[in-house]
Chains A and B, each alone.
Chain A
Amino acid sequence: MKHLKQRVVALSLVALCLLSLSETAWAGKKFNGVWRVTITIPTAPGSRETRTFTVELNATPREEDSLHGRMTIKDENNRTVSGVWRQEGKMVSIGYELPCTEGSPCASLVMRGKMKNGFTTIKKGDVIVMWDTPNDSNYALYDTSKGSFSAERLE
């Protein structure tokens, strides 16, 4: 009985140490790096048809004391624009302006997702699309849509 108690205490201590170590490791993980991001959004305001496209996102580390970081986003046509990111634990928020191209209307994208698998993947993230078309019947005063994204860390 005495040995059992000692084993339970020892196991508890080991578990506590492991938990504390993983918390420390977790706390150091940052979103910055290179990611391949696949985004699915409607083709246009009010459309049920969707389009899926892939971008490469290069998030630079946050400056000292900053809660936000910058990034560049390169699309399949090698067009590069800038974006911003914010991280809270495993959750990351990304904002960028979708370039206006023929066949894809202009929009702002707000993406939120949870990093998993050692901060290497994001699955089933949410995308808010705010289009450039005014719409008085939408609370945001412009057309909005919902989309989704997934991401895989490359570097």
Chain B
Amino acid sequence: MLKRPIFIALIAMLLAVGVVSTPKAVSQTQRTLVGEWLVRSTPIDNEQFSRMGNSLGFPDRDMFFAENGDIRTGFVAREDVGVAVKPLGVWRQEGNRISATFQLWCPDSNFPCGTIVMRGEFVNDDRIRGTMAAFFDEEDATRPTGFDTWRFNFTANRLSSGGGQ
């Protein structure tokens, strides 16, 4: 006689655990970089320039990431320079960790040429943080890669879930 209430209580407990835990699990598996992000950068150890004097400053950047199967693309909307100015990039995601590579926009010698590599992780569904390394097109034998390098921190907040154009 006593077995039935215990059995029912057990089922109810399992259902309750399922209801509570399911949204979190779904949320974690659905984390994606796809969307528009406002990226803010800050110096590391107050380094404003690379050893060779290159710098990107620390402006806010509007970055878009899109995905079509294994083809993962991105761009930076540089409307501060021009409507058509969209530095291009690609990205990769393994669980909570993200990686991206972007080319720098360098129409003339006033702009440093190079490539940016981002490494970061999700803090929550709509916030990521990490570091960026800029590998400039200028040789520097003191760096392990042989090229002038500059690093900085970034945090990014999601503005929308769309991939942009």
Q: Which A residues form the contact surface with B (CB < 8 A)?
A: 64-70, 72, 79-86, 88, 91, 93, 95-97, 99-100, 106, 108-110, 112, 126, 128, 130, 132, 138-142, 144-146
Contact with B146, one of A72, A91, A96, A126 (Cβ below 8 angstroms): A126
Contacting A at CB under 8 A, from B77-126, are 84, 86-92, 94, 97, 99-107, 113-115, 117, 119
Interface bin, chain B: 35 or more
B145→A146 contact, CB < 8 A: yes
Given contacts A81-B90, A95-B102, contact A142 B119 (CB under 8 A): yes
A139→B151 contact, CB < 8 A: yes
Contact with B71, one of A64, A67, A81, A85 (Cβ below 8 angstroms): A81
Which of B91, B106, B115, B149 has most A Cβ within 10 Å? B115
A83→B90 contact, CB < 8 A: yes
Contact with A112, one of B91, B99, B137, B144 (Cβ below 8 angstroms): B137
Contact with B145, one of A66, A82, A86, A128 (Cβ below 8 angstroms): A128
Interface check B143, CB cutoff 8 A? yes
B147→A128 contact, CB < 8 A: yes
Contacts of B117 in A (CB 8 A): 95, 108, 110, 130, 140
Given contacts A84-B101, A128-B135, A140-B149, contact A106 B90 (CB under 8 A): no
Contacts of B106 in A (CB 8 A): 67, 86, 88
B149→A68 contact, CB < 8 A: no
B144→A82 contact, CB < 8 A: no
Task: Supply 12 further A-B pairs (C-beta < 8 A) apart from A84-B90, A95-B102, A96-B90.
Answer: A70-B73, A81-B92, A82-B90, A86-B106, A93-B103, A99-B92, A110-B101, A128-B135, A128-B145, A140-B133, A145-B144, A146-B144
Contact with B91, one of A80, A97, A142 (Cβ below 8 angstroms): A97
Which of B91, B114, B133 has most A Cβ within 10 Å? B133
Given contacts A106-B92, A106-B94, contact A95 B149 (CB under 8 A): no
A68→B101 contact, CB < 8 A: no
B119→A132 contact, CB < 8 A: yes
Interface check B72, CB cutoff 8 A? yes
Given contacts A93-B103, A128-B147, A139-B149, contact A82 B71 (CB under 8 A): yes
